[in-house]
Structure 1
């Protein structure tokens, strides 16, 4: 009886090997599809290489061999292009409500059209956060539960940030403030 039982495990082993090949094949196909998808979307959303000149030809260095200076080159985002700065971490405050304990958690991003505006906002971020926190603690749940209430708070928040930056730098520097997450409990 012991000899009859021995061939059974040997018969099961080829079946395991038979399943191994399709599983490996599926894994390779899935990895190739994921890599191809990442390449496709990265290529589609990417811009032309910075070193390419007009009509895709490589850019030439100037006649003195430097290839830089003269006000040309990649100096960051184009003038007037929107640049965003997250206000991180989220601002979490208690809302002004006498009946129940209410909380507000807000993630925001500032928008500036200049690198100087982004740098000024970074430099004065502690004061910006404090000003926004004080503004948010004055809010009542019933006033900001509606879309109009949120838009009003967004406008007042932008004005508060611009006020801080105008006081510190002489220029409002930022032109937009966007709520990227807004949770009330």
Structure 2
């Protein structure tokens, strides 16, 4: 009879341990769910704040279209490009309009340095866009004008 009382407390101890483990696991799961929900809500609030804080894009078309001779050896090759500049700063938009002749000149020189083979690749066109943004900012900076230009977009780009 002495064997029975010792086996019952072990079962009771095991049951208590499993109950504690279950409570800890459920508590951790509930805490993880609460943390995940809090992070999702915070990310949504930050995304909404960023969307509200970002002013609308202002586009400035450099018209007429650019037409330049490309730097290809041999037969004459041409590039025709419609270009739009994008900013979110009204002061920069005014500076773009004011300094449009200088901007066109610098971009014409930049476009004339390209070859048809380079412009056949997407990466080269993207690199040209980045160079054009840098060129536009440089011109505006030299004129001590606001230079918050974010992008140069080619709305048409034809090589011949």
Q: Structure 1 residues 121 and 170, CA, compared in 2 at 3 Å: closer, same or farther?
A: closer
Shift of 1:115: 1.2
Matched, 1:91 2:76: no
- Output the CA distance in 1 between the equivalents of 2:61 and 2:151: 12
For structure 2, the residue ranges without an aligned partner over 5 or more in a row are 1-52
- Output the CA distance in 1 between the equivalents of 2:119 and 2:144: 31
Q: Look up the match of 1:156.
A: 131
Shift of 1:172: 1.7
Q: What secondary structure is seen at the aligned counterpart in 2 of 1:108?
A: strand
TM-score normalised by structure 1 residue count: 0.56
Segments ≥4 residues shifted beyond 4 Å: none
Matched, 1:115 2:86: no
Q: What secondary structure is seen at the aligned counterpart in 1 of 2:153?
A: strand
Matched, 1:80 2:52: no
Whether the aligned pair in 2 keeps the contact of 1:94 and 1:102 (CA below 8 Å) is: yes
Computed over aligned residues only, the root mean square deviation of the Cα atoms, in angstroms, reads: 1.5
For structure 1, the residue ranges without an aligned partner over 5 or more in a row are 1-77
- Output the CA distance in 2 between the equivalents of 1:83 and 1:156: 20
- Output the CA distance in 1 between the equivalents of 2:148 and 2:97: 11
2:149 is aligned, of 170, 174, 177, to: 174
Shift of 1:93: 0.2
- Output the CA distance in 1 between the equivalents of 2:145 and 2:90: 16
Shift of 1:85: 0.6
Shift of 1:166: 1.3
Whether the aligned pair in 1 keeps the contact of 2:91 and 2:146 (CA below 8 Å) is: no
The structure where helix makes up a greater share of residues is 2
TM-score normalised by structure 2 residue count: 0.64
Q: What secondary structure is seen at the aligned counterpart in 1 of 2:149?
A: coil
Structure with higher RCO (Cα < 8 A, 6+ apart)? 2
Q: Would you say how many aligned residue pairs link Structure 1 and Structure 2?
A: 108
